[in-house]
Amino acid sequence: MEGIVTSLDSSPQAVQGAENAQGTSRGHGPQPVHATEAAKQIPPAAVARLTIYLRALNTLLSDGVERVSSESLAEASGVSSSTLRKDLSYVGSYGTRGVGYEVQYLSRHISAALGLTHDWKVAIVGAGNLGKALARYGGFESRGFDVVAIFDADQMVVGNEVGWLRVSDAADMEAVLQRTGANMVVLALPATVAQAVCDRVVAAGVHSILSFAPVMLQVPAGVNLRKVDMATELQILAYHAQRAQTPDQTA
């Protein structure tokens, strides 16, 4: 079966430092979020939108904004106010009527619910154009993801520097994953080898995988697998573009 991320981490580290929004609105001061609250089962679509809210909140923080209304945050995130409020209810953040949300507080609260208070160490398998671009991307660290290794099987590539990393031999993947403490792996591989590498990653104890390989991978229960297929997304985009350009034939 293919694993999909549908629930959030409930460990104490994931909720450390988070606060209870209802406690704040009642005037009793910030209260810690209990692990059971942060671990509520959240629909996958809501999880995806929470990441968008977090990005919008962090942009507001960088602009020096301290408070934001649900309407403004919803508009910045491309959703309705009712959708925003429902999504935030999953993590226990309701804001204060007439005042809105405290930006820094809500950002911390969502980060805790999404497990971003962990140290996430990411390894990339595949040092082709995509893998190298991902390894060089500077935006991961600010979001709590530290790229600690990149692998390739091509001996002409092994040893080359990519950003601040040196390409490791894919034959040594298990040992390097253990040494670096990587707990997430990105597969930037051809379809022909993706399943075999995925199996090795799972056997090495890494259960969070993001795959760019254009193939359906099979993983055991308990393994979280996310798939990004850019070709499929472009095909969907082409369909909608064609519909926009073609006169309605049903009239």
Q: Known binder of ligand: residue 126?
A: yes
Nearest by Cα to 118 from 58, 184, 41? 184
Q: Known binder of ligand: residue 130?
A: yes
Phi, psi of 39 (to 5 degrees): -95, 10
Q: Known binder of ligand: residue 129?
A: yes
Q: Beta strands 168-169 and 120-125: pairing type?
A: unpaired
Return all residues near 112 (Cβ < 8 A) that are at least 6 apart. 14, 15, 16, 17, 18, 33, 38
What dihedral do alpha carbons 77, 78, 81, 87 form, nearest 10°? -60
Q: Known binder of ligand: residue 128?
A: yes
Q: Give the C-alpha separation, 19 to 237, whole Å.
A: 40
Buried b (16+ CB within 10 A) or exposed e, 47-58: bebbeebbebbb
How many Cβ atoms sit within 10 Å of the Cβ of residue 95?
22
Nearest by Cα to 186 from 155, 216, 228, 219? 228
Query: Which segments are annotated as binding site for NAD(+)?
Result: 126-131
Query: Which segments are annotated as binding site?
Result: 126-131
